[in-house]
Structure 1
């Protein structure tokens, strides 16, 4: 048993090394004063200064953050509504069908989704740019939010909602004061997953972006094709650090929300007495 446990630990460490080694290698050379990735000559912050001095790049960064935040908020709202709707479908076969249709959008190749949106926007006359990128990001983020929220809804006991109604709660009160607090961890998970996917997306954005508007992923790809520049390393390192901060933030928010939900699970009676 101990031997198998030891081999499993070694395997996990190997997986993490394979995944993180290229990122650490890229970050290491972002501090290289030599200007190339062939030999580390000395420590410098020149490439990070170059990133922050590039006005065009900062505008692209702002575009990316605006798209990610808008897409995450809208897709979280739509995803929560969709998850509640699927959860309330009584017939199990219909619920499974809706969930399967939702999952198809997650497993579909990004190239197919991007090409489909390109054809759609061209047919209906939407100009490629901010609107097309935003709509596309919302579309592929909604199914992710549904997948994050639905398990929390499945964990919620129907008797909790019935108890709130018996104590005089309206349907709006049941939704806002019982259901949403219970599934809050799933909502946070969906929001952060949508935010991460939007920031990280390249394939879909490459198809639907137009002249005068681009995102960081497309810009990094364009610059990398022109030749290796350590400013790309610096920019990629900053994105990686930002993503890690999002993950850590989500972890602590998730722990906090779970503690609050567990404290409120049996408080339906107190809520009813307080609102009489």
Structure 2
């Protein structure tokens, strides 16, 4: 191993330590029976029990999951339609312009997006609550879904569609039996990515949520401002583990997609696997 490779691995290790040390510190004290983060006195699950016995918090968890699942599903459907429309554009300048507009919500600061949605909902007379949070999450999830689906769609050979039409397939059959099955791994990837973004979002949700309605990220922020409680640690640990599960699921879907692509290319070239 060269000195350059060794130095790169050491640097990468330091970066991971800096990123994950606070998270593991928080998780470690979520099991502290002392009730503070100044010294570990003993192991306990009291704070996790408190989280699961908090009726209001359970309702907020349900709200968060409903928003995340519903917004991700709707955004993925819109993303499929958007990717299909963009893929059919033949003028390169127009396609690049639309792709740039699609990426605006991804590269823009969350504070700006949240404030913009707040102003929009206020002008439109939309009451802040479930509807405003759902619409906001759909809006910033759609570009993610499009970016996940479009590359897979562009990899599809036009001969597949032509062959299906030559065999008498209607447009609906081509879409349902040829295009959608081919891009299904990308659809799942887009859904998981949108779901992860929705569950983790705070800045945008903070602007558009109203009184009487909250999500986990906003609730954790509100409780943290009220004072240090290890129930926040327990809740944050559960959210982190859920996020890890979603990321692992996304990785497995992406890995399966790559394997399928290799098999398809091998089949096209007549090369044994």
Shift of 1:250: 2.3
Provide the rounded CA distance (Å) in 1 between the counterparts of 2:11 and 2:177: 45
- Verify the 8 A CA contact 1:181 1:261 in the aligned structure 2: no
Shift of 1:263: 5.3
Query: In structure 1, what is the equivalent of residue 271 of structure 2?
Result: none
Query: In structure 2, what is the equivalent of residue 79 of structure 1?
Result: 79
- Taking only aligned residues, the RMSD between alpha carbons, in angstroms, comes to 1.8
Provide the rounded CA distance (Å) in 2 between the counterparts of 1:130 and 1:252: 32
Shift of 1:119: 1.0
1:1-276 equivalences under 5 Å are 2-260=2-260
- Verify the 8 A CA contact 1:220 1:232 in the aligned structure 2: yes
Unaligned runs of 5+ in 1: 269-276
Provide the rounded CA distance (Å) in 1 between the counterparts of 2:129 and 2:151: 35
- Verify the 8 A CA contact 2:193 2:250 in the aligned structure 1: no
Worse-matched range after superposition: 48-57 or 147-156: 147-156
Shift of 1:259: 4.2
Provide the secondary structure at the position in 1 that maps to 2:103.
helix
Query: In structure 2, what is the equivalent of residue 273 of structure 1?
Result: none
- Verify the 8 A CA contact 2:189 2:253 in the aligned structure 1: no
Unaligned runs of 5+ in 2: 269-273
Q: Which string of whole-angstrom CA distances, capped at 9 and with x for unpartnered residues, describes residues 99-150 of structure 1? A: 0001111111111111111111111111110001000000010011111111
Worse-matched range after superposition: 129-138 or 180-189: 180-189
Worse-matched range after superposition: 60-69 or 167-176: 167-176
Worse-matched range after superposition: 257-266 or 88-97: 257-266
Aligned residue pairs: how many? 268
Provide the secondary structure at the position in 2 that maps to 1:183.
helix
Shift of 1:264: 6.2
- Verify the 8 A CA contact 2:89 2:95 in the aligned structure 1: yes
Provide the secondary structure at the position in 2 that maps to 1:11.
helix
- Verify the 8 A CA contact 2:192 2:250 in the aligned structure 1: yes
Provide the rounded CA distance (Å) in 2 between the counterparts of 1:176 and 1:15: 45
Worse-matched range after superposition: 151-160 or 78-87: 151-160
Shift of 1:5: 1.9
**CA 1:179 to 1:264, structure 2 compared with 1: closer, same or farther past 3 Å?**
farther
Worse-matched range after superposition: 171-180 or 134-143: 171-180
Query: Following TM superposition, where does structure 1 have runs of at least 4 consecutive aligned residues deviating by more than 4 angstroms?
Result: 257-268
- Verify the 8 A CA contact 1:110 1:204 in the aligned structure 2: yes
Provide the rounded CA distance (Å) in 2 between the counterparts of 1:185 and 1:120: 35
Provide the rounded CA distance (Å) in 2 between the counterparts of 1:185 and 1:13: 32
TM-score scaled to structure 2, two decimals? 0.93
Provide the rounded CA distance (Å) in 2 between the counterparts of 1:263 and 1:2: 35
Provide the rounded CA distance (Å) in 2 between the counterparts of 1:90 and 1:104: 22
- Verify the 8 A CA contact 2:148 2:187 in the aligned structure 1: yes
**CA 1:88 to 1:99, structure 2 compared with 1: closer, same or farther past 3 Å?**
same
